[in-house]
Structure 1
Amino acid sequence: MAEDIEGDLLERFEIRLTTKGQFRAKLLFIKDVLLLFRPSMIRSFQGQQKLNYYDMFKHNITITFRSFLRQKSSFIINLIGLSSGLTCVLLILLWVNDELKTDRFHENSDQLHYIMSNHTDASGTRTWKGTPGLLLEEIEAQIPEIELATAYTDTHEFTISTKSETPISLKVEGKFASDHFLSVYSYPLVRGNASSVLANNSEAVITKALAEKLFSNEDAIGKTIEWHFGGNKKAFTISGILENIPSHSSEQFELLLPWNFYHDELITFKQWGNYYARIATVLQANANPQLVTEKVDTIFKNNLEDTNVDLFLTPYSSLYLYGEYENGIQAGGRIEYVRLISFIALLILFIACINFINLATAKASQRMKEIGVKKSMGASKRSLAYQFLTESILICLIALGISGLLTLLLLPGFNQITEKEIALQFDLTLVLSVVGLVTLVGIVAGSYPALYLSKMEALSILKGFKLAKSSGGIGRKVLVIFQFTLSTILIVSVMVVYQQMQLIQNQNLGYNRDNLIYFEREGKLTDQSDAFINEIKNITGVENAAISGFMVGGLNSTGGVAWEGKTEKDQIQFWEYNVGANSIDLLGVEFISGRDFSEEFATDQDVVIFNETAIKAMGMDDPIGKSIVHYTGNKKIVGVVKDFAIGSLHQDVEPAIFLNRPASANLIMVKIDGTSTARTLQEIESAYAEFNPEFPFKPAFVDQDYQALYSSEQRIASLSKYAAALAIIISCLGLFGLTAFTTEKRIKEISIRKVLGSGIWRIVFLLTKQFSALVAIGILIALPFSYWAANRWLNDFAVKISLSWWFFALAGIATLVIAWLTVFGQTFKAARLNPANNLRNE
């Protein structure tokens, strides 16, 4: 438009010459020219064109749906694969999101720190959550960087009852906590004052759900409940009602009782070497956690000299996911399983994307003429690229819609496997993540036809140009190999995890956990245990019963044991069990030497029994009859038992000590024969009701407690099983699609071969050979990676299976057979076609 603009300027200049004079006319001319230097005047004329983008988009959508209808098989395969992969990713994303939110809802989350202790002895350093309860007052008084601090206990099962006209007795999960507990943690109160509800020794706080159970629609504030634990009982007045504890809290409880009552009246060993408290602190915003750690540890060591224990602070929000320590250093935890399951979900989606890309590239060559005609009509590379990307993204969005419905249907079952209460709710971050992922998948899958085919010249295409053999072919082969590599790794993983879980379930633990039940020793059973035990021993199906303090995983430990020859280096932590007469025999633990506790010996109150690991750690050659000093007094060793699994098989066996202190043992353990468990339990409950009518009977099975130690591994086993099955199905769907496409392209070649005398099985072998080779290469690549991954996972167990060659051979053979079965149907069908029908138009 330069000539038009220049003409206008000159015309205005001529007019001004006659009216304003030459000098002013020139100045105004310069001004007009300078004012024209702006973006609106110098932009490209092409940018002024107004294209009908809506019609182009509509056209692309129409072409896309027509393409789906023409290529039904590849469309359905892509849809099934992508829907399955996206469903897997959605479920795992929901689970990961739930895991990452755990314990992060507290208002003081950034400043909330937990005090932990490192105990170092000859075997190394072990990290515990326990700290001395006496530490609370000291750090509150001496460390100004600590804004708030609270002490509390782990959650225990208590019995509580009401004194109404229709009394209610319930087993509830509760803990003792100091008065700042509800200021440190953000568990909101419905009624009550957070800073004062736990200050009084006779006041309690309950959740809204528990209040409804106990008092129905009545106001619970001011009501009285009676608390029972072992031989202790006390009346508490309800001074506060909590909102129900959110599922994102790692600590679940229904009842809070005052710490001062626990500390002043229940704890008998209030010493700096007794680690009975859990202490959490809120630091000031500008406080240095490392500096506070040094101050806390200094206060502790000033009160307990020559200790092998170090205290330190760690962020509370990290404990749930990063709660495992090795030699005092944080070494992971549940985060490892979060990463592993997330990785598996992405592998599944990646396998589905490989199908998508393979089929997209394979089918792209069939659309060459369409591209040539469009380019000859003036279509630009950009518009063609947009068309292919539109197709790709659209099928991803359809798959996303289907996966959303599948997620809703599968979520209840998924919650059962993961033991969660996940709901599909609108979460902006989650939605954006999923949409972004789907868009990325669509762009990647559509990139080959969009970038490669769209840049080809129209003349070359319409003259009959064909894609070179190398174009897409090598890439498809690599992707097929990669698919079956991943599938084989997952199959091996499932086999290894299954075999390890079988070993754990069948392993001889050193005690007999089968048909062994226990229940709380409380109420009248505290004083009448012997009479009750004698009563239930007469029940048909009961083999034995005794007072016991044995718990799977251990409950208490102590370093307060001394023996002749002990040095400063011999700092040993012993798992400590208070038991009654014949309780070790009840467990089925074998004796190496000596005897069990017995009522026949009057001096058995001052005797102990060790396991063989403890005897080795103490360096004793002939321990029977020797004396040791326990923190409760002098004791004599009367027995040594074989090592038994105290906790899970992740750890080696640790030193253990049994003390004959039935008064301190809070369980009654019963061995039943298992022939009629329901009837036997019913008769035990009837006997319990006669002795203890005010208390609920709630038995637990030792073998179920043992299984609970491996809940994470069991979840991994279940999810891996489904993931491996899904991976192989999606891989085989892709292989099925590629086989169908290949046989379709080679149909005339097959017909000519048949005319020249080739048999059906020879043709089947010819068509199967190529895909079999790709699958075999994938299997061979997978085997060393499988071995490495399996070996690394098994290293976390003290007792583990041997990695036999047949794990890998069986996984490889299974993968190959499944691939053969997938390919066989298509190749056999093609080999049986009548060649006359296919060659008629030649």
Structure 2
Amino acid sequence: MLKNYLKIAWRNLRKHKFYTFLNIFGLSLGLASCLLITLYVVDELSYDRAFANADRIFRINADIRFGGADMALAVAPDPLAFTLKKDYPQIEQVVRMRENGSQLVRRADATDNLKEEHVFFADSTFFKVFSVPLLQGDPNTALRNPQTVVISETDARKYFGDTNPMGKALMVDNSAAYTITGVMRDIPAQSHMRDVNMLLSMSSTEESRSNAWGSHNFNTYILFREGVNAKQFEQHFETVLQKYTSKWIQSFLGSTLEEVRKSGNYLVYTLMPLADIHLHSDRTAEINANGNIQYVYIFGVVAVFLLAIACVNFMNLATARSANRAKEVGVRKALGSERSSLVSQFLTESIMLSFLSLALAILIAYIALPLFNSLASKQIQFPIANAWFWSVLLLTGGIVGVLAGSYPAFFLSAFQPLKVLKNTIELEGRGSGYLRNALVVFQFVISVMLIVGTGVIYRQLNYIQTKKLGFNKDQMLIVNDAYALDNQVKAFKEQVLQLPNVESATVTSFLPTPSSRTDHTFFPVGQMQQDKGLNMQKWSVDYDFAKTMQLQMASGRAFDESFPSDSTGIVINEAAAKVLGYPDPIGKKIFGYEDAALTKRVDYTIIGVVKNFHFESLRKNIGALSLILYKSSGSVVFRMKGGDAPRTVEQVAALWKKMAPGQPFNYRFMDQDFDNVYRSEQRVGEIFITFATISILIGCLGLFGLSAFTAERRTKEIGVRKVLGASVGNIVALLSKEFIKLIIVAILIGSPIAWFGMNHWLSDFAYHVDLAWWMFAAAGLLAIVIALLTVSFQSVKAALMNPVKSLKSE
């Protein structure tokens, strides 16, 4: 029986090649898109789950409000980890990591440096918390001694050509030699620590022993013992605050913890599960840029929608062509076929078509995966050897076949043979017509939502690109690692300034593109009360910083070499001046501390107030910022005049190689640096427009098939109308208007849903575009134009048909 079903199904599919092609192609596009998005979602959800005991590992987060600033930090104070380990037996182990930034690294016996982007200090307990295997070395002792380092196998091959460099030394920052005591496997790409390839021993830095309860700089992780409830354990943080932090607050501010809280300030520690970090954390001092759970939800819904659109196409075309199968059903029933056998026959056709589409979808997805990886910035592998993957795919193919074919099967098998054979059955009953219309509306509701979403995302990105930031990011060349020049930094800057295309230059470690923070607390001189504190970023700059960045002064002046007193001067932004509350802050004195132990006090005189400029992401409001004069050689930034940029880069590189032989020349442009901050939104926009296009294409395939069927069904009517004088335009309008009505209904339904979704997405940005009515009108108009172009081909074809042939057709 099954063989007979398959044979008849195959013959029927071959007989109607046009509709078979539309169904298979549309369904395969939907399945391929769904498959790619599913691989993306699974990849996102798998972060940090490869670590053994991942369910027992938690990171300590800190939420602080002080000095007019709110901070959500992924770091904690240096003494917190081991204090918790000492006081609470529920904790099996702890580890701290301290970012050391990008460093120049070379073998001790070499002269040429290489750039390491993510270098961290880590406690010797790192390998007891995280199950990163060591290829060489003892995990219990590898990071125990000062000036030791554990490197990844990738770095071992990069520096030494093999994975056994034990006992050899690496020079970090051209100044400190670290002995290799371990080689670890590369940390999995699906980890929030994925780019960490070099771990320096924590005992190498004095900061790890500062006992500063108010200085938050260490990514801190806890491994709980079996059965510990992390949520309940959070209650112990209050005890820690009262027992330890309150003493620090008392010594620093002269106020109690309760008094600090009463004034509206707070310090709260919470635990975040390791597996949640990648998708649920976007805090200051993250080890890597993380993902966003919202995008996982969005793409998951898009995958379901795309698959639903493809299934809707099948149902629409199958029910629309019921007239062509009605006599077949009538004859089969007259010859004794039961309804169940007819349902089985039609479901067999549907499932066969589904598996043909699935085969083509797998091929499309396999071919498109490299392009999708590039689009999504992923390294997803096609799981060819995974039995679960193939089992799920086969199950999906069967389910899609049953779901897509169920309504047509039960609809067609319900025909009464006597009425069918007498041509008295109403083949285009209201039920089937309403259902098809509803399904078309459903398809274009989704398309309208995706079109609106794509438009809003790109408009927001354009807003980010064109918004006045308070500084000029164009034509700015950033030369990294200026410290490699040693004492020739100033000479290098002066020589580059002699180039005809260079206008100005500044040496600094701080740039107005979101990067590392350096938060400090300041007080008005003589007013060291906790309610008078001002928490703000402190940037070390030179005399030319404001000029090179083209910052605008609100009052006072920028640093000037003709004023020797500027060595103790400070420039604040308008946000800081507002918190201080001075009507005129120029000349007022504030002070802060240079060390975590609060022993090195420095008094500053406010010499200028710079207009607010965006030094963080546009997701955040502009916070308090200060500039001080201090030698800082992280980067040299050159403003160019807009001439031949590639030529200028070559000239700067030549000077670098002359003055810093053996040091890598790394550069970037500030506008590109700025764009990278919003790269995730750009990727989302690109993915959105890709799948929006696919959804529209699938919808158009169904609309094309329905319009072809409608034209075929109304052939005689068209012939009569043409004989009576109807023009081609009249016929096209007649056949198109019912589809346009459906698209308008889809616009009215889809627009409010799209408004709600995009308004929620924009709420993540402190600065964003407004949702205007014309954006939804434009999306609706685009949907109508696309539908008209799709339908008009069949409409014009039918309208141009010779009426004689139309009237002769049966």
Normalised by the size of structure 2, how large is the TM-score? 0.91
Letter matched to residue 157 of structure 2: E
Instruction: Verify: 1:619 aligned to 2:589, yes or no.
Output: no
CA–CA distance in structure 1, aligned partners of residues 100 and 761 of structure 2: 31
Tell me the equivalent position of 2:199.
Answer: 256
Q: Relative to structure 1, is the Cα distance of residues 420 and 205 closer, same or farther in structure 2, using a 3 angstrom cutoff?
A: same
Deviation at 1:301, TM superposition (A): 4.1
- Aligned residues of 1:121 and 1:570 also touching (Cα < 8 A): no
- Aligned residues of 2:707 and 2:791 also touching (Cα < 8 A): yes
Deviation at 1:380, TM superposition (A): 2.3
CA–CA distance in structure 1, aligned partners of residues 681 and 809 of structure 2: 62
Letter matched to residue 336 of structure 1: Q
Deviation at 1:358, TM superposition (A): 0.4
Mean CA deviation greater in 709-718 or 468-477: 468-477
Deviation at 1:522, TM superposition (A): 5.2
- Indicate which of 627, 635, 638 corresponds to 1:670: 638
Q: Relative to structure 1, is the Cα distance of residues 176 and 522 closer, same or farther in structure 2, using a 3 angstrom cutoff?
A: farther
CA–CA distance in structure 1, aligned partners of residues 766 and 782 of structure 2: 30
Q: Relative to structure 1, is the Cα distance of residues 72 and 595 closer, same or farther in structure 2, using a 3 angstrom cutoff?
A: same
Find the residue that maps to 1:149 and give its secondary structure: strand
- Indicate which of 574, 583, 594 corresponds to 2:536: 574
Instruction: Verify: 1:553 aligned to 2:514, yes or no.
Output: yes
CA–CA distance in structure 2, aligned partners of residues 625 and 634 of structure 1: 12
| 1:149-548 alignment, distance < 5 Å | 149-154=94-99, 156-164=101-109, 167-172=111-116, 173-217=118-162, 219-228=164-173, 233-251=175-193, 252-262=195-205, 264=206, 271-305=212-246, 306=257, 308-324=266-282, 334-426=292-384, 427-466=386-425, 467=427, 469-521=429-481, 525-548=485-508
- Aligned residues of 1:135 and 1:300 also touching (Cα < 8 A): no
Q: Relative to structure 1, is the Cα distance of residues 124 and 363 closer, same or farther in structure 2, using a 3 angstrom cutoff?
A: farther
Deviation at 1:808, TM superposition (A): 1.9
Find the residue that maps to 1:156 and give its secondary structure: coil
Deviation at 1:833, TM superposition (A): 1.7
Deviation at 1:758, TM superposition (A): 2.9
Q: Relative to structure 1, is the Cα distance of residues 80 and 203 closer, same or farther in structure 2, using a 3 angstrom cutoff?
A: same
CA–CA distance in structure 1, aligned partners of residues 268 and 780 of structure 2: 50
Find the residue that maps to 1:235 and give its secondary structure: strand
Deviation at 1:603, TM superposition (A): 2.5
- Aligned residues of 1:518 and 1:668 also touching (Cα < 8 A): yes
Deviation at 1:146, TM superposition (A): 1.0
Tell me the equivalent position of 2:71.
Answer: 126
Deviation at 1:559, TM superposition (A): 4.4
Tell me the equivalent position of 2:253.
Answer: none
Deviation at 1:409, TM superposition (A): 1.2
- List per-residue Cα deviations over 1:352-411 (Å, max 9, x = no partner): 221111001112232122222222333222221111111111111111111111111111
- Aligned residues of 2:192 and 2:277 also touching (Cα < 8 A): no
- Aligned residues of 2:78 and 2:208 also touching (Cα < 8 A): no
- Indicate which of 568, 583, 595 corresponds to 1:606: 568
Find the residue that maps to 1:385 and give its secondary structure: helix
CA–CA distance in structure 2, aligned partners of residues 187 and 155 of structure 1: 20
Tell me the equivalent position of 1:593.
Answer: 555
CA–CA distance in structure 2, aligned partners of residues 419 and 689 of structure 1: 33
Higher RCO, 1 vs 2 (CA within 8 Å, ≥6 residues apart): 2
- Aligned residues of 2:78 and 2:209 also touching (Cα < 8 A): no
Q: Relative to structure 1, is the Cα distance of residues 753 and 280 closer, same or farther in structure 2, using a 3 angstrom cutoff?
A: same
CA–CA distance in structure 1, aligned partners of residues 154 and 703 of structure 2: 54
Instruction: Verify: 1:834 aligned to 2:810, yes or no.
Output: no
CA–CA distance in structure 1, aligned partners of residues 578 and 155 of structure 2: 49
| 1:35-46 alignment, distance < 5 Å | none
Q: Relative to structure 1, is the Cα distance of residues 628 and 74 closer, same or farther in structure 2, using a 3 angstrom cutoff?
A: same
Mean CA deviation greater in 115-124 or 198-207: 115-124
Letter matched to residue 541 of structure 2: V
- List per-residue Cα deviations over 1:218-258 (Å, max 9, x = no partner): 73111111111xxx721111111111222111211221110
Deviation at 1:644, TM superposition (A): 0.8
Letter matched to residue 408 of structure 2: P
CA–CA distance in structure 1, aligned partners of residues 545 and 472 of structure 2: 12
Letter matched to residue 372 of structure 1: G
- List per-residue Cα deviations over 1:189-225 (Å, max 9, x = no partner): 1111112111111221111111111112473111111
Deviation at 1:342, TM superposition (A): 1.6
Q: Relative to structure 1, is the Cα distance of residues 303 and 559 closer, same or farther in structure 2, using a 3 angstrom cutoff?
A: farther
Tell me the equivalent position of 1:644.
Answer: 613
Percent identity of equivalent pairs: 33
Instruction: Verify: 1:143 aligned to 2:49, yes or no.
Output: no
Mean CA deviation greater in 367-376 or 202-211: 367-376
- List per-residue Cα deviations over 1:120-148 (Å, max 9, x = no partner): 24757431012111223322221211101
Tell me the equivalent position of 2:732.
Answer: 764
Tell me the equivalent position of 1:101.
Answer: 46
Cα RMSD, aligned residues only: 2.3
For structure 2, the 5+ residue unaligned runs are: 247-256, 261-265, 285-289, 595-601
- Aligned residues of 1:557 and 1:573 also touching (Cα < 8 A): no
Q: Relative to structure 1, is the Cα distance of residues 631 and 225 closer, same or farther in structure 2, using a 3 angstrom cutoff?
A: same
Q: Relative to structure 1, is the Cα distance of residues 450 and 717 closer, same or farther in structure 2, using a 3 angstrom cutoff?
A: same
CA–CA distance in structure 2, aligned partners of residues 583 and 758 of structure 1: 75
Letter matched to residue 336 of structure 2: G
CA–CA distance in structure 2, aligned partners of residues 186 and 516 of structure 1: 43
Letter matched to residue 191 of structure 1: Q
Letter matched to residue 340 of structure 2: R
Deviation at 1:669, TM superposition (A): 2.1
- Aligned residues of 1:580 and 1:665 also touching (Cα < 8 A): no
CA–CA distance in structure 1, aligned partners of residues 33 and 532 of structure 2: 52
CA–CA distance in structure 2, aligned partners of residues 776 and 88 of structure 1: 26
Q: Relative to structure 1, is the Cα distance of residues 291 and 749 closer, same or farther in structure 2, using a 3 angstrom cutoff?
A: closer
- List per-residue Cα deviations over 1:643-675 (Å, max 9, x = no partner): 11121111111111112121x553322222342
Deviation at 1:523, TM superposition (A): 5.0
Deviation at 1:584, TM superposition (A): 2.4
Q: Relative to structure 1, is the Cα distance of residues 124 and 375 closer, same or farther in structure 2, using a 3 angstrom cutoff?
A: farther
CA–CA distance in structure 1, aligned partners of residues 192 and 648 of structure 2: 36
CA–CA distance in structure 1, aligned partners of residues 751 and 115 of structure 2: 51
- List per-residue Cα deviations over 1:288-328 (Å, max 9, x = no partner): 213432334432442232363222222121111111479xx
- List per-residue Cα deviations over 1:721-768 (Å, max 9, x = no partner): 112212222111111101111111111222223333333322222222
Deviation at 1:586, TM superposition (A): 1.5
Q: How many residues align?
A: 775
Tell me the equivalent position of 1:5.
Answer: none
Q: Relative to structure 1, is the Cα distance of residues 74 and 123 closer, same or farther in structure 2, using a 3 angstrom cutoff?
A: farther
Deviation at 1:270, TM superposition (A): 5.3
- Aligned residues of 1:115 and 1:278 also touching (Cα < 8 A): yes
CA–CA distance in structure 2, aligned partners of residues 346 and 416 of structure 1: 23
Normalised by the size of structure 1, how large is the TM-score? 0.88
Deviation at 1:156, TM superposition (A): 1.9
Q: Relative to structure 1, is the Cα distance of residues 727 and 543 closer, same or farther in structure 2, using a 3 angstrom cutoff?
A: same
Q: Relative to structure 1, is the Cα distance of residues 481 and 841 closer, same or farther in structure 2, using a 3 angstrom cutoff?
A: closer
CA–CA distance in structure 2, aligned partners of residues 832 and 193 of structure 1: 83
For structure 1, the 5+ residue unaligned runs are: 1-55, 327-331
CA–CA distance in structure 2, aligned partners of residues 697 and 325 of structure 1: 31
Deviation at 1:151, TM superposition (A): 0.7
CA–CA distance in structure 2, aligned partners of residues 599 and 267 of structure 1: 37
Letter matched to residue 527 of structure 1: N
